[in-house]
A and B are shown apart, each in its own frame.
Chain A
């Protein structure tokens, strides 16, 4: 390994460009995750429906999305939707893809949360003559979500780590920016390593944060 494999001055110079692109990465993560969290809850509730015309197709779609690559799904949204007259900017298609893919993971998390609500809560709701909608909204969902927040947090981090896929449809997030820097300067060591280091730091920090939240929740739930 020669001395000039890693050039600190060069790394320092390109860091602002990479950090600028990190904003897109974080934007995509946060918006995508809100989408995943909301859609995931709807999928989980739909899957519990007593109407098999609703629950079976949802179960099938969830399995399908979970078993196929996110990259192909992003291509699908980006290339296929225009055929139906829906032309999305690359970033929007990418965020939709991320959100859709991870909504299936979130739905499994919610499902576990919903399943853990004791029978008595349902029976009490019947005793109060609450409608199904009210029961879910006021009784079941508020109890089911707090315990699964850490699991959702893990998928937030997982989704964050999948955002480099958006580079495949030319969204200029961190990875794509690093590639552009590389192709301009023929130096790949610094941009790629910086991107790796930023991912590592951010995901380790988030994991610590999630563990904190988990401990806090446990204390709160245990009373």
Chain B
């Protein structure tokens, strides 16, 4: 079989895919927490900034954002290399969805927990950090896990802005060899493998964040 012949090239591409996925996940987490917390702010303007970010990035698609940053930003004098555009665009896109996840989970923490924090004279920030967010984390983990899978799938788009990720290599090999069935099947299974790794890691994170609360559960 020729599969062995393709594998090194495809694995090189998979490595690029993994790098972009990891960088974009970190950015998405950052943006998700920042925008989710901002949407809960008492200050109108802070909420508005977060809402605009979330609505714009959820209202247009990842590929539109990617192309916009790739083709349009240079006209504003901002020239980023394709790799940077790739992970930043995807991270911003998924971060907007993450913002809603974070906000939802935080709002689900019972009111009494805020009131108890005030009775201990905590500042809002301290209450968030020590009391509210730790209790909201377990509920956030599964939806974040789904978002990470969506993000992995979306990394295929970066092949369209000249990054030689897994999908790009597949297309290239296909054009060269016409071994279409073998190449694309192999590629799909490589994506599946990465997705399974993400799912596995999220299972561990789930168990780990749930630990404190799981000792009998929240009443």
Contacts and interface: CB of A to CB of B under 8 A. Distances in A.
B139 to A, nearest CB: 18
B157 A71 contact: yes
Given A69-B153, A75-B184, A199-B64, A189 B72 contact: yes
Contact of B59 (A83, A163, A203): A203
A192 B68 contact: yes
Residues of A contacting B: mostly: helix
Interface string B198-218: 000000000000000000000
A79 B160 contact: no
Interface residues of B, number: 40
B60 interface: yes
Contacts of B196: 67
Which of A68, A69, A71, A168 counts the most chain B CB atoms within 10 A?
A: A69
A71 B64 contact: no
B83 interface: no
Contact of B64 (A67, A73, A196): A196
A178 B60 CA distance: 15
B188 to A, nearest CB: 5
A163 B109 CA distance: 37
A80 interface: yes
A9 interface: no
A29 B19 CA distance: 32
B3 interface: no
Nearest to B157: A71
Contact of A67 (B56, B61, B159, B192): B192
A162 B61 contact: yes
Interface string B168-189: 0011001000001100110110
Contacts of A222: none
B155 A69 contact: yes
B63 A164 contact: yes
B204 to A, nearest CB: 18
B59 A175 contact: no
Contacts of B55: 200, 204
B196 to A, nearest CB: 8
A203 B61 CA distance: 10
B191 interface: yes
Interface residues of A, number: 38
A194 to B, nearest CB: 11
A146 interface: no
Contact of A192 (B72, B154, B188): B72
A5 B75 contact: yes
B63 A72 contact: no
A192 B184 contact: no
Nearest to B175: A79
Contacts of A196: 60, 64-65, 68
A40 B191 CA distance: 23
Given A67-B192, A182-B71, A175 B64 contact: yes
Which 4 pairs, one residue from A and one from B, show the smallest C-beta to C-beta distance?
A161-B61, A69-B156, A67-B195, A188-B71
Interface of B: 55-56, 58-65, 67-68, 71-72, 75-77, 149, 152-157, 159-160, 167, 170-171, 174, 180-181, 184-185, 187-188, 191-192, 195-196
28 contacts: A1-B77, A5-B76, A64-B192, A67-B196, A68-B188, A68-B195, A69-B152, A71-B157, A72-B167, A75-B167, A75-B171, A76-B184, A80-B180, A80-B181, A83-B181, A161-B60, A162-B63, A165-B63, A167-B63, A168-B160, A175-B63, A175-B67, A188-B71, A193-B72, A196-B64, A199-B59, A199-B61, A200-B55
Given A75-B171, A196-B60, A196-B64, 14 more contacts: A68-B153, A69-B154, A69-B156, A71-B159, A72-B170, A72-B188, A161-B61, A161-B64, A164-B63, A182-B71, A193-B68, A199-B60, A200-B60, A203-B60
Interface of A: 1, 5, 64, 66-73, 75-76, 79-80, 83, 161-165, 167-168, 175, 178-179, 182, 188-189, 192-193, 195-196, 199-200, 203-204, 207
